[in-house]
Amino acid sequence: MRKFFPFLDWLPKYQKKFFSSDLLAGLTVGVILIPQGMAYAMIAGLPPVYGLYASLFPILVYAFLGTSRQVAVGPVAMDSLLVAAGLGAFAIATMEEYIIMAVFLAFMVGAIQLTLGFLRMGFLVNFMSKPVISGFTSAAALTIIFSQLKHLLGANIPNSNQFHQMILNAFNNLGSTNIFDLGIGVIGILIIVLLKRWNQKFPSVLLVVLLGGFAVYFLGLENYGVNVVGVVPEGLPSFQLPAFDLDKAKEIIPIALALAFVGYLETISIGKALEEKNNQETIDANQELIALGTSNLVGSFFQSYPVTSSFSRSAINAESGAKTTVASLFSVLLVVITLLFLTPLFYFLPNAALASIIMVSVFGLIDIPYPKSLWQHRKDEFGVLAITFLVTLFVGIKEGILVGVLVSLLVMVYRTSMPHFAVLGNIRGTDYYKNVERFGDEVEIRDDILIIRFDAQLYFGNTNYFKTQLFKQIDAKGDDLKLVILNAEAINYIDSTAAKMLVHVITEIHARNIEFYIAGAIGPTRDIIFTTGIIDVLHKECLFVKINEAVEYFNNPGNVSLLGKNVAHQNRVFGN
């Protein structure tokens, strides 16, 4: 039961001294969650109140099923943008239909995450490398920032998911800028930025919301064309089954998969970072999938759109001293009070103020130091990051993720198809054998022995490269060569294609009157050598634990005791 319901593990151990810390952290996050949730709903193309709906039941569910103690779940900018990008591709005529699709999308995301969790497929997120994540996140952050220009300028700017089109649309509509909207937005940005520099814990977001609302109400700015949130429905969301449509489900599966993986990746990344900071180890990757999936699934029954963990709110939650997910319950309580009693106060909240909150919140997601580091040290990975960034920015969100993953996999395949191939020599006066290119004059190279090391698994993708490099070195040695030793320490797997290649290579080397030994093969590799027929052409006495043993055996072919010792060792390991 504790495996599926993590709260059963920590709740019985809950201490009274935790309560005040959880209360303070929960209320602090709640104060930020309310305006942020409304702002992020606007990114998703939904009425602001749906950001509050997404801040109720999903958070409650995660509080009981999640394995991280400080992660703050709810609506976030990245997922909101993906919702807008995904649903924007459909011809949706009315807001009611759009809301139905967004809620159904939450159901689909939850179902996918829950299924992957039960199948223990959390490892799939590993295929999204850090360069892909960084490139996608930075591009998405820029897209989110510029998508808010219509609210900041108070102009009727057409929506687009492509950065260049956003810039063009904004430029074409500069003439319709509302100076009051622009003033509210710019002042809001300045207030948040300056107060954060002064004191990170100060609720600058709440201050912007209050000042914006008061300015519109007392100065009558609505009469000057300032766009406001307007009527926010009062009361809690009612239970309602998502409108299931098989045809629509097929259409939104790609965006649902993207949301499921991106949301899970965000949660794991945030949770792991908080774990390292607090010296805790509580996160279970597969249980996190179950927790997120259940959160989205249950949330969809109460008009929530897809949610995941928030970078900013999780950090604030941890900094405020949250000890357990009880803190999340206090955040939910604050949202409930807002929906029941305080919604009339949000009528005069200007959209420009929410836009300023969004712009500042996501600006921190733009990662500059990491690409700089890659450019200096890993240009291939910088290329993956740059391609992901540019495709996400100028083509689309979904395309950016897909292309980024594919390019990173291609780079991985390219690396493994031509891995490091080293010729080794003996460090004078020792039993060590090192790369002759790295150690130069320190190594002794014999004309009659070629020792090579292959730093990767042998599989169908690199068999030709291995064979070409090996015979290139053999031919370079000339007629003096009498022995080839393969140092197999770095080879952890040999597939059937590579095994067949090795049999042919050993046979051809023997045909040239050259001996072939293998040294340093680890257990799984030795098993493959014995089960694929390689041992039939290699012979058991030519399989050694260390390179120096192989060289000593070659130097003393008539040493019966040495041969017996090696064969006896192989018999102990592999049997007769």
Cα distances from 103 to residues 51, 147, 243, in angstroms, run 12, 22, 8
Residue 235 CB contacts under 8 Å (≥ 6 apart), including other chains: 339, 340
pLDDT in tens, the chain (576 residues): 777 788 777 778 788 888 888 898 888 888 888 988 998 998 899 999 999 999 999 999 999 998 888 889 999 988 898 898 888 878 787 899 999 999 999 999 999 999 999 998 877 777 778 898 888 888 888 988 888 898 999 988 887 778 888 899 989 988 889 999 999 999 999 999 999 888 877 878 888 989 999 999 999 999 999 999 888 888 999 999 888 777 777 888 989 998 998 888 888 877 876 776 666 677 788 899 999 999 999 999 999 999 998 877 887 788 777 888 899 999 999 999 999 998 898 899 999 998 898 888 888 778 899 999 999 999 999 999 999 999 989 988 778 888 988 999 899 888 889 999 999 999 988 889 999 998 888 888 899 999 999 999 999 999 999 999 999 999 999 889 999 999 999 999 999 999 999 999 999 999 999 999 999 999 899 999 999 889 999 877 899 999 999 999 998 865 544 544 555 555 555 544
Residue of 425, 437, 494 whose CA lies nearest to 466: 494
Q: Which residues in 12-23 are b (16+ Cβ under 10 Å) and which e? A: eeeeeebeebbb
Q: Which amino acid is at 481?
A: L
Angle at 335 between CA 330 and CA 338, to 5 degrees: 130
pLDDT at residue 570 in the model = 55
- Phi–psi pair at 337, nearest 5 degrees: -60, -40
Rounded to an integer, what distance in angstroms lies between the CA atom of residue 140 and that of residue 299? 25
pLDDT at residue 566 in the model = 57
Residue of 533, 537, 531 whose CA lies nearest to 515: 537
Phi-psi region of 513 (alpha: psi -120 to 50; beta: other; left: phi over 0): left
Query: CA-based Rg of the chain, rounded to a whole angstrom?
Result: 31
Token pair 């040294």 in the structure block, residue: 519
Helix locations, 519-559, DSSP H: 523-531, 534-538, 547-555
In sign, the C-alpha dihedral spanning 370, 373, 374, 379 is positive
- Phi–psi pair at 534, nearest 5 degrees: -65, -40
Residue of 362, 377, 376, 412 whose CA lies nearest to 132: 412
Phi-psi region of 203 (alpha: psi -120 to 50; beta: other; left: phi over 0): beta
Torsion on CA atoms 391, 392, 395, 399, rounded to nearest 10? 90
DSSP, residue by residue, 360-379: HHHHTT---HHHHHHHHH-H
In sign, the C-alpha dihedral spanning 526, 528, 533, 534 is negative
Lookup: tokens for 478:
């000339």
